[in-house]
Amino acid sequence: MGIPPLEFYSALTDNGIDFFAGVPDSLLKEFCSCVDDRAAEQKHIIAANEGNAIALAAGYHLATNKIPLVYMQNAGFGNIVNPILSLCDPSVYAIPMLIVIGWRGEPEIKDAPQHVKQGKVTLKLLDTLDIPYRIMPDTNSEIKGCLDYLIKIASEKNAPVALVVKKNTFKEYNPEQKKDTPFELTREESIKLIVDKLNSRDIVVSTTGKASRELYEYREQLEQGHNKDFLVVGSMGHCSQIALAIALEKPSRQVFCLDGDGSVIMHMGSLAIIGSQKASNFKHVIINNGSHDSVGGQPTVGFSVSFVNIAKACGYKRCLEASTASDISERIEILRTTEGPALLEIKVKSGSRIDLSRPKSLKENKDSFMEFLSK
């Protein structure tokens, strides 16, 4: 059982699909890895967010009259609704594309709380958006018929169509090219160094994915409880705005936002708003591993842009960089005493422990966090 990603990729190219854009997902990890390995450079774009992926696919269709592919986790639905309804829908510009969706939180399959509701409504959302879909079969013999059907509908109706992918649909893919980075620390090690430098009243808001899981585990290990941290387990890309609003309401407290490169890039306009709001207690820490590490390590453009320069241009008062343990400890200290908004970009290597647990009792954590803020 299970589909070899390369066979699926070949079935797509046999159907004339040669352009891929998307935001990676853990259920699609093996497929993403195959696309990244096989597609020509300009024919595969890992987008800032899923709405942008739809827009890239639309542009590709306009320029070539071909049917492009967009891949995403169902968590990305919120980002695609507008460009689907106001750009691609047959009632507007009628732009065909195949959207491959990783189905986290599928009913009856155990998953983290932030995926449960999204999983439950995934097919209903497709129905509401009038997107014809099929659930991806898990045998090779059925894939061809399924793709033929979807591509036929997409071309006849000039409309987006979707293929919904369940957990464990894809077999493993071993990429031919392996990528390495020169940095010595992991995200988890850098999170521990940050936490060690915080004061007892400092507030932390951490981003989606393994960063929040690692922070949670470290607090467990230190037996500090979880009331100082708000873990943004879903809502990728939004943690800095949550932190900003808290910083504005709690000017006497230091607010540390622990962000990821993929998350910052997803909604980079947030930095302009942070710069303009001038919250002197807002401290942004971007842990940049140049990848979407939490969902399989697919590359971001994190190492090709300068977050420090972007933040400066947005009006942050002080912007620092670090990549070693001593730099981090020293600069977190500077960050907490300097006037913000301020930024520390920490460059790390990808990778995490495989036995990482997930935060429990989200709502209780929220209550204790709110109590901690109110003190």
Ligand X SMILES: Cc1ncc(C[n+]2csc(CCOP(=O)(O)OP(=O)(O)O)c2C)c(N)n1
The residue within the footprint of ligand X, chosen from 69, 136, 195, 236 (CB under 6 A), is 236
Q: Quick one: which segment of 124-132, 138-146, 206-214, 327-335 binds ligand X (CB under 6 A)?
A: 206-214
205: which 2 tokens? 């808001």
Q: Could you tell me which of 256, 318, 307 has the C-alpha nearest to residue 285?
A: 256
Number of H helices, E strands in the chain: 14, 14
Q: Quick one: which segment of 247-255, 288-296, 311-319, 337-345 binds ligand X (CB under 6 A)?
A: 288-296
Q: Could you tell me which of 66, 61, 165 has the C-alpha nearest to residue 109?
A: 165
The residue within the footprint of ligand X, chosen from 292, 331, 347, 349 (CB under 6 A), is 292
The residue within the footprint of ligand X, chosen from 38, 44, 61, 187 (CB under 6 A), is 187
Residue nearest to ligand X (CB): 260
Distance from C-alpha of 77 to C-alpha of 84, rounded to nearest angstrom: 10
Report if residue 24 touches ligand X, rule: CB under 6 A. yes
Q: Residue 357 — φ and ψ, nearest 5°?
A: -90, 180
Sequence-ordered list of residues with C-beta below 8 angstroms from that of 227, at least 6 positions apart, any chain: 365, 368, 369, 371, 372
Per-residue contact flags (x/-) with ligand X for residues 54 to 93, judged by CB under 6 A: -------------------x-xx--x--------------
Report if residue 263 touches ligand X, rule: CB under 6 A. yes
Strand residue runs (E) in the chain: 20-22, 44-46, 69-73, 97-102, 133-135, 160-165, 203-206, 229-231, 255-260, 282-288, 291-292, 298-299, 318-322, 342-347
Nearest distance from residue 41's CB to ligand X, in Å?
21
Say what angle helices 239-249 and 269-277 make with each other, to 10 degrees: 10
Report if residue 100 touches ligand X, rule: CB under 6 A. no
Find out whether 248 and 308 touch, Cβ atoms under 8 Å.
no
Report if residue 293 touches ligand X, rule: CB under 6 A. yes
Nearest distance from residue 112's CB to ligand X, in Å?
10
The residue within the footprint of ligand X, chosen from 38, 61, 192, 210 (CB under 6 A), is 210
Report if residue 190 touches ligand X, rule: CB under 6 A. no
Nearest distance from residue 222's CB to ligand X, in Å?
21
Report if residue 147 touches ligand X, rule: CB under 6 A. no
Report if residue 211 touches ligand X, rule: CB under 6 A. yes
Pairing of β 160-165 and β 97-102: parallel
Distance from C-alpha of 94 to C-alpha of 188, rounded to nearest angstrom: 45
Please count the residues of this chain forming the interface with ligand X, following the rule CB under 6 A.
26
Given the rule CB under 6 A, which residues bind ligand X? Answer: 23-25, 73, 75-76, 79, 187, 207-211, 234, 236, 260-263, 289, 291-295, 300
